[in-house]
């Protein structure tokens, strides 16, 4: 069986974990965490990067930083992972679901203004498959209405919009290092603060509401409880693993992009024959090879495709079940009008395997996909 995903290990993780062990500093914010912060700040240009336990945790920190109150509204796509909405619902805020664009499956910027009410506080964009939303338009809308912008950039490390790294265009950016992402630490994430505005309070929220980070820098002579917060910082063992991945980040991205390009080339003929639609990357975006998906003609054909691929020993999966019609989405959120594109595309999308080492199996995967697609005709 060729699995849908296989986490990639660079081979240096255990050596760096052994170093962390030898350092004797196991809690957070030791030398490996600092190294990861420096890497992220250099890579993205964010004023402050802070490792977290997950992208979910970084989204929760964002909701705390925005001081959201019950009844406040946050505009977001329905076609996303649950954490995008859940992080805000935890504060009592209401996720307001807006439809996505047909080309990128990202938030449809032309529908955002119609969803704004006097309670709207923020827009949370999701860069699906590591491909950017139309950020200039979204940032202009946010500025016009005094809204904060949070980027769920869980899938988007190394991707850019008009040359700018994703996760640093909005006020706050959230990355994931979950084992299904490009750069991993099992579970893991980071919060990016674009400028100094949220940086100091983010440190406090991440350290249980204390000014401990300032204390360690010698800026205060004792540390104390100064705000609300929680424990959002991972241990040095996680940071050591992640540091090994970061060191290999450029090669990982290159190899993923080569796999992505191979799929894209292969799918050209099938697209011309009307059997599928390929992903679309807008001209002003570069992506990171996070995901290759196909849009099949119908839900029935997608179900059959996944079954045929499985029969050939290749794992493929569908993706998000829209949040606006999920049990919790109905309870905690609301849809802004109808979401026909979300309902349509989410039922037809299938994700192909894409992982480091898949290179040697690609002929087999593509032969299985050729066969499965012809069986659908
Ligand atoms: C993976 C993912 C998350 C969650 O990331 P965790 O690190 O597992 O919390 C959130 N949003 C999107 C869009 C994701 O792809």
Instruction: Report which ligand 1 atom has the smallest distance to the Cα of 176.
Output: 7
What is the secondary structure of 37-63 as a DSSP string? HHHHHHHH--SEEEEES-HHHHHHHHH
Question: Ligand 1 test: best mutation among 89, 130, 154, most atoms within 8 Å of CB?
Answer: 154
Are 156 and 137 in contact by the 8 Å Cβ rule? The answer is no
Ligand 1: centre distance to CA 19 (Å)? 29
Q: Name the nearest CA neighbour of 166 among 192, 189, 186, 184.
A: 192
CATH 3.90.1150.10 segments of the chain: 250-376
- Distance between CA 176 and CA 186 in Å, rounded? 10
Q: Name the residue with the closest Cα to ligand 1, atom 1.
A: 154
**Cβ contacts of 337 within 8 Å, gap of 6 or more:** 99, 111, 114, 115
Is the beta carbon of 178 within 6 A of some atom in ligand 1?
A: yes
pLDDT of the residue at 96: 98
DSSP-derived 3-state class of residue 312: coil
**Per-residue pLDDT tens listing for the chain (377 residues):** 999 999 999 999 999 999 999 999 999 999 999 999 999 999 999 999 999 999 999 999 999 999 999 999 999 999 999 999 999 999 999 999 999 999 999 999 999 999 999 999 999 999 999 999 999 999 999 999 999 999 999 999 999 999 999 999 999 999 999 999 999 999 999 999 999 999 999 999 999 999 998 888 889 888 899 999 999 999 999 999 999 999 999 999 999 999 999 999 999 999 999 999 999 999 999 999 999 999 999 999 999 999 999 999 999 999 999 999 999 999 999 999 999 999 999 999 999 999 999 999 999 999 999 999 999 98
Ligand 1: centre distance to CA 189 (Å)? 9
Ligand 1: centre distance to CA 323 (Å)? 14
**Cβ contacts of 98 within 8 Å, gap of 6 or more:** 75, 76, 77, 78, 107, 108, 111, 112, 115, 336, 339
Q: Which residue's entry shows tokens 């993205």?
A: 44
State pTM to two decimals. 0.98
For 116, phi and psi rounded to 5 degrees? -75, 135
Q: According to CATH, what is the number of the domain 13-247?
A: 3.40.640.10
pLDDT of the residue at 357: 97
Ligand 1: centre distance to CA 80 (Å)? 9
pLDDT of the residue at 216: 87
Is the beta carbon of 83 within 6 A of some atom in ligand 1?
A: yes
Ligand 1: centre distance to CA 176 (Å)? 6
Q: Which fold is adopted by the domain 250-376?
A: 3.90.1150
- Distance between CA 339 and CA 318 in Å, rounded? 19
Q: Name the nearest CA neighbour of 346 among 327, 317, 319.
A: 319
- Distance between CA 219 and CA 102 in Å, rounded? 50
Is the beta carbon of 176 within 6 A of some atom in ligand 1?
A: yes
**Cβ contacts of 117 within 8 Å, gap of 6 or more:** 73, 96
Q: Residue 14 to residues 51, 52, 248: CA-CA distances in angstroms?
A: 19, 21, 14
CATH 3.40.640.10 segments of the chain: 13-247
Q: Name the nearest CA neighbour of 99 among 91, 111, 116, 117.
A: 111
Q: Which residue's entry shows tokens 């349509």?
A: 344
Ligand 1: centre distance to CA 170 (Å)? 17
Instruction: Report which ligand 1 atom has the smallest distance to the Cα of 54.
Output: 7
């Amino acid at each position: 069986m060729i699995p849908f995903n296989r986490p990639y290990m660079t081979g240096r993780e255990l050596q760096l974990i052994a170093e962390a062990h030898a350092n004797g500093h196991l809690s957070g914010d030791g030398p490996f965490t600092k190294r990861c912060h420096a890497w992220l700040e250099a890579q993205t240009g964010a004023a402050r990067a802070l490792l977290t336990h997950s992208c979910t945790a970084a989204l929760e920190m964002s909701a705390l930083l925005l001081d959201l109150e019950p009844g406040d509204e946050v505009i977001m796509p329905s076609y996303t992972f649950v954490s995008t909405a859940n992080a805000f619902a935890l504060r009592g805020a209401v996720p307001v679901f807006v439809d996505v664009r047909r080309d990128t499956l990202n938030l449809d910027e032309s529908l955002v203004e119609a969803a704004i009410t006097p309670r709207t506080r923020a827009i949370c964009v999701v860069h699906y498959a590591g491909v950017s939303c139309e950020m200039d338009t979204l940032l202009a809308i946010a500025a016009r209405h005094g809204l904060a912008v949070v980027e769920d950039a869980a899938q988007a490390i190394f991707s850019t919009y008009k040359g700018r790294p994703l996760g640093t265009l909005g006020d706050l950016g959230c990355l994931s290092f979950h084992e299904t992402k490009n750069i991993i630490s099992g579970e893991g994430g980071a919060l990016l603060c674009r400028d100094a505005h949220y940086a100091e309070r983010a440190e406090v929220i991440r350290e249980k509401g204390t000014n401990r980070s300032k204390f360690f820098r010698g800026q205060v002579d004792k540390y104390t409880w100064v705000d609300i917060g929680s424990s959002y910082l991972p241990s040095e063992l996680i940071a050591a693993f992640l540091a090994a991945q970061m060191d290999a980040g450029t090669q990982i991205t290159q190899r993923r992009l080569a796999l992505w390009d191979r799929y894209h080339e292969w799918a050209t003929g099938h697209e011309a024959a009307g059997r599928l639609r390929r992903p679309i990357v807008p001209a002003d975006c570069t992506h990171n090879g996070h995901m290759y998906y196909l849009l099949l003609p119908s839900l029935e054909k997608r179900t059959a495709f996944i079954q045929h691929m499985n029969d050939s020993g290749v794992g493929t999966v569908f993706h998000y079940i829209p949040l606006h019609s999920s049990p919790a989405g109905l309870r905690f959120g609301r849809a802004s009008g109808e979401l026909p594109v979300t309902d349509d595309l989410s039922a037809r999308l299938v994700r192909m395997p894409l992982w480091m080492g898949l290179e040697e199996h690609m002929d087999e995967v593509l032969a299985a996909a050729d066969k499965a697609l012809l069986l659908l005709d």
